Amino acid sequence: MYDTVDLSINRADAGGINFLEMVSPLLEKLKINIFKDDNRVSMTGKVDKLKVIVTENYVKVKDSSLCKWYHGNNFETLTREETKIVIERLSDLLHLPMHKADVKRIDFATNFIMQYDVSFYINRLGNLAHYDRLPQSTGLYYNNSKNLKTLVKQLVFYNKIADYKAKGLPIPEYYKNKNVFRYEIRFLKNLLQQFNLPELKAEKLYDEKFFCLLFKLWKAEYRKIRKIHDMNKFDFSQIKSISEFYQQGSISLTKSLGGEVQTLKYLAEAQKMGMSKKLAFDIRGKVKDAAHSDLLTITSDYIAELDKKILKFLNKKEVLIKCNA
């Protein structure tokens, strides 16, 4: 489930060694930065294709997929057991006790091979409370902050095949000619606050309880997303009351405006232009009710397939069954 993991080890946890003297000679493609205000030195380079930053006080492994480093690609993700092996190899590579490193970022993800094009599923993932829904050319981002500088958590759904093709990377044989749907939850900043922990060391990544916590958050955030229903044709024979007639009218209006997500965007704009908070709240409720009404909407077959894939994944391994208990 792990992909990118950023790590930072300080001098105290490394036994007080001189990082610039002991670690910087390991770097390839070395770049040296000197901060004019206090003459501090920072060295950036590659160690076995991993980006490493070295200063007097810390060594960081940053912006690198540990999964890709281990497997040769990041179509796969690291299991809990593989993560322990990776941290041990990283310790040998850098000559540092990397199990004591602080975790600064975690990408937790997996792939699903779907029956249809990935866009069919992504287009039916609606709004998520406390996140901004941001469609991309080959996927969908959910950011919990409009300002990227304060972004601490992110959900990402995308076409993994299209992502690899765009980067010019070779697609693993097993995934060729398949519809690969990727779901990632990214913990980008303030991890201690997010997990309510006094510290988060690399060895925690392969702790079963912590792995289960990540897994539950990954699952819970997906379940909170409001799924978009498919619309049936307008049918007078289904109307049993005037309120149902109005509800069908609301469904048709929502559809004409581009669907539930687009209608709610228009409503947010109207509120900024002066619509009262109460009126916007009431209309928003009616739009949401209409978009999921049993009268003219049905649960999407695509979402049903995705839900089924996720449920099957929950029961794939013993540890996941424990986490799901």
Residue pLDDT, tens place only, 210-261:
999 998 999 999 999 999 887 666 666 667 788 777 777 777 777 777 778 8
Q: Side-chain half-sphere of 305: how many Cα atoms within 13 Å? A: 15
User: CB of 53 within 8 A of CB of 59?
Assistant: yes
Enumerate residues 6+ apart whose C-beta is below 8 A from 144.
Answer: 130, 131, 132, 151, 152, 153, 154
Enumerate residues 6+ apart whose C-beta is below 8 A from 306.
Answer: 112, 114, 121, 181
DSSP state of 255: H
Q: Quick one: which of 201, 248, 185 has its CA closest to 3?
A: 185
User: Residue 137, class by beta-carbon neighbours within 10 Å (0-12 exposed, 13-18 middle, 19+ buried)?
Assistant: exposed
Q: Which residue has the tokens 């909407």?
A: 297
> Residue 272 phi/psi, 5° resolution?
-65, -25
State if pTM tops 0.75: yes
Which tokens hold the place of 50?
Answer: 């991993």
DSSP state of 173: G
Q: What is the pLDDT of residue 46?
A: 93
Give me the tens of pLDDT residue by residue for the chain, a chain 325 residues long: 899 999 999 999 999 999 999 999 999 988 988 876 666 788 999 999 999 999 999 999 998 899 999 999 988 899 999 999 999 999 999 999 999 999 999 999 999 999 999 999 999 999 999 999 999 888 999 998 766 778 999 999 999 999 999 999 999 999 999 999 999 999 999 999 999 999 999 999 999 999 999 989 999 999 999 998 876 666 666 677 887 777 777 777 777 777 788 888 888 888 888 888 888 888 888 787 777 766 667 778 999 999 998 877 876 654 454 565 5
DSSP state of 236: G
- C-alpha angle 141-144-146 in degrees, rounded to nearest 5: 85
Hey, where are the domains in the chain?
2-8+67-224, 230-298
Q: Quick one: which of 36, 86, 37, 39 has its CA closest to 61?
A: 86
Residue type, 173: E
Helix axes 277-291, 260-272, angle to 10 degrees: 180
